[in-house]
Structures are given as C-alpha cells and as structure tokens.
C-alpha cells in the first residue's frame, strides 16, 4: 500500500470554532463534507488530542468558517499551529458570533456554517461528528482555499538538512515544532498538535 495515494483526496480548509463553559476555542481542519440532505447533514473529523475536539464533545455546537483563497499562513498558524490549552486564540480578536454565541472569522472566509452535533463516533485517532445545520451564509465571492492550495502555496517551504551518522532520538514537526520521542516515526503518524503528517517531521539527532 502506498500511503501517498491518499494525498489525491481533495479537501477544503476550515476554521472550526467551539464555545464551552464560557471558554472559546478553535482549530484548523480540512475534513468536512456534506453527507446527507433533507435534512442536510455534515460530517467533520477532529483529532482526539485537540482541545477543540474535547470541547465539541461537551458542547455539541460549532461554527465552520470556510477559508477562502485570500487566507494567509498567519491565519492558519494562529488557529492551527498552537494549542488552546496554552494560548487563548480568541483573546485579542473582536469576532462576530452566531446565534449560539460561537465566533466565526470575519476575514479570509467565503462562507460560514453553524451546526449542532447529532452523533459523535470515536474512530481511534479522531472523533467524527455528524451535524445538522442551524444557519449558513456566504461572506465573499472568493473561491474556497483547498487543502492542495494550502500544501502547494501557503505552507512554508522547509529544507532537508540531515547531518550524517548521528543517532535519531526523536522527530520534530516542521510546521508547529511538536516533538515526538523515539527513533522511528510511524509512517501514518499525525502531529497531535497541528495534524500535519509524517512527511512534515524532521529527525532530532542525539546531542
């Protein structure tokens, strides 16, 4: 099996926001699709290690800001490459909110969807949520940002500098700096912080 075959699946890029017990949080995800009509139902998938996922399991409501082609890496970095466990990502932002009080993005967004969860399924690494739509509106005529655009255009280019003959003691995510302990990174590993895959990790050599 060639895991790169899965890279041909097409996705959008979204800012998923939640509010639970007075706290607001959000993350970047690429996994949302419509899975039924009458009523319209969406499926989204969230890394279980993410605070957003934990809060969504409690609150059962979210907004999805569908990012558009004007999105910059700074926006992805702000919401996707740091954890709500250590930073309040919404603290200095004055964002609009939906009827349930959950914020959504006011820039780089072509549409916003407000949903409530009707079912959550734990799939191991991720939880998949099936949700129904409470509100949805368009914000811009810009085309949506696709995950392929993000990979080819937005994500910082990183070089491969590999010192030779030193023992590998861990792997560092080149996108968010998360460190994995151990000499071998599983091929299907996903960064528990930012969700990028094994190809975005670089070795950490012994001192």
Interface contacts to its own copies, rule CB under 8 A: 1-12, 31-41, 43, 45, 66, 68, 110-113, 119, 121, 123-126, 128, 130, 133-138, 143-144, 146-148, 186, 188-190, 197
Q: Which is nearer to its own copies, 126 or 174 (CB)?
A: 126
DSSP codes, 6-64: GGGS--B-EEEEEEETTEEEEEEE--EEEEETTTTEEEEEEETTSHHHHHHHHH-EEEE
Question: Residues 106-127, buried b or exposed e (16+ Cβ, 10 A)?
Answer: eebbbbbbbbebeeeeeeeebb
**Least distance (Å) from its own copies to the CB of residue 87?**
25
**Least distance (Å) from its own copies to the CB of residue 83?**
19
Q: Which is nearer to its own copies, 23 or 153 (CB)?
A: 153
Between CA 142 and CA 111 the distance in angstroms is: 10
**Least distance (Å) from its own copies to the CB of residue 42?**
8
φ and ψ at residue 176, rounded to 5 degrees? -125, 0
Q: Which is nearer to its own copies, 148 or 204 (CB)?
A: 148
Residue in the structure block whose two tokens are 């968010």: 176
**Least distance (Å) from its own copies to the CB of residue 67?**
9
Q: Which is nearer to its own copies, 36 or 93 (CB)?
A: 36
């Amino acid at each position: 099996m060639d895991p790169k075959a899965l890279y041909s699946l097409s996705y959008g890029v979204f800012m998923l926001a939640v509010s639970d017990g007075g706290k607001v949080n959000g993350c970047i995800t690429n996994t949302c699709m419509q899975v039924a009509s009458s009523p319209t139902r969406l499926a989204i998938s969230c890394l279980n290690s993410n605070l957003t996922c934990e809060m969504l399991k409690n609150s059962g409501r979210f907004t999805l800001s569908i990012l558009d082609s004007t999105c910059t890496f700074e926006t992805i970095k702000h919401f996707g490459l740091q954890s709500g466990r250590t930073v309040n990502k919404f603290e200095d932002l004055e964002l609009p909110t939906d009827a349930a009080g959950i914020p959504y993005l006011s820039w780089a967004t072509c549409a916003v969807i407000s949903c409530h969860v009707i079912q959550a399924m734990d799939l191991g690494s991720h939880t998949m949520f099936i949700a129904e739509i409470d509100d949805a509106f368009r914000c811009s005529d810009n085309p949506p940002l696709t995950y392929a655009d993000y990979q080819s255009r937005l994500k910082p280019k990183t070089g491969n500098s590999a010192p030779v003959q030193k023992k590998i003691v861990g792997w560092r995510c080149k996108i968010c700096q998360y460190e994995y302990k151990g000499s071998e990174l599983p091929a299907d590993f996903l960064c528990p912080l930012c969700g990028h895959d094994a190809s975005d990790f670089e070795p950490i050599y012994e001192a």
